[in-house]
Amino acid sequence: MNLLRRTRSILHANRLLLRRRLGQNFLIDEEVMERMTSYADLNLEDTVLDIGAGLGFLTEVLAERCRRVVAVEVDPKLVRILKRRLRNRRNITILEGNILKIDLPPFDKVVATPPYSISTPLLLWLLERRPECSVLTFQREFAERLTAPVGSREYGILAITAYYKAHIDLLDLVSRDSFWPQPEVESRIVRLKPKDPPFKVEDESFFFRMVKALFTQRNKKVRNAVKPFLASLGIPRDKAVEFMDSVPFHDKRVFTLPPEDLGMISNDLLRRLRGEGLL
């Protein structure tokens, strides 16, 4: 029985209706599963995290290739199915809950097809936790934003954060036919591996707050875009004007600046604000 028929059969037997708000589109393409596990370079020493385990088809593939799988699923009805289906798999741990909120045991790698509705917070969560390797499917447009070139319409906080924290590989496109029900979008396999930052910032929290603020006004020149950010820090207007006029690259438009230049702006502002006793 192929995975589409198995999916329909399991859902029918359990009288389970899919919940669209949870992004329940099950991967039914065994070839895609095999490629994802291959890209993660799994071995029998790995503990692998599966996010949005669904009916557990990918979970089973992973369990054959690693020491342990931690499978997380937010839908309690699917968790019951998973526990029943996989009860004889001693190297699978099934957890119920929101991946962004629950406590997890240690894991080395991630291989998953998570709901696309949590793509941004999940990406940031992974970049903070720095597993050895993460192989996931994302919506194609989202995936390609992670490596958007400087100056492009897609270039922004996601691309800058990804560039700063990880090696990003955009791998295979995945057609709608590989999922059931079919999503409205194409997907892409993405591999993340942590890296040391390619440039130095003196305060990462300050840097990312500044970048996020500047890119809300991405088409403005830096001197104008930095004004609301300084105001949000409670900087007096006269001092803010002084900083605006002398900040590095003040006459460049925000979206044209590579991450390294944004780092220089952040470091310059931070030093001067601290020097003035304003932070």
Domain ranges (residues) in the chain: 3-194, 204-275
Residue type, 49: L
- In words, the CATH class of domain 204-275 is mainly alpha
- Return the number of other C-beta atoms located less than 10 Å from residue 167's C-beta: 12
Across 33-59, average pLDDT: 97
Please name which of 33, 83, 91 lies closest in space to residue 58, comparing C-alpha atoms.
Answer: 33
Return the percentage of the chain with pLDDT > 70, whole number: 97
pLDDT in tens, 199-209: 999 999 999 99
pLDDT in tens, 165-221: 999 999 999 999 999 988 889 999 999 999 999 999 999 999 999 999 999 999 999
**Which segments of 40-149 does DSSP mark as H helices, in order?**
57-63, 76-85, 119-129, 140-145
Tell me how many degrees the CA angle 175-176-177 measures, rounded to the nearest 5.
90
Name the residue with higher pLDDT: 23 or 266.
266
CA distance 238 to 230: 11
Name the fold adopted by 3-194.
Rossmann fold (3.40.50)
Query: How many Å separate Cα 36 from the centre of its chain?
Result: 16
pLDDT in tens, 228-256: 999 999 999 888 888 888 999 999 999 99
Phi, psi (rounded to 5 degrees) for 244: -60, -40
Single pTM value for the model: 0.93
- 270: three-class secondary structure by DSSP: helix
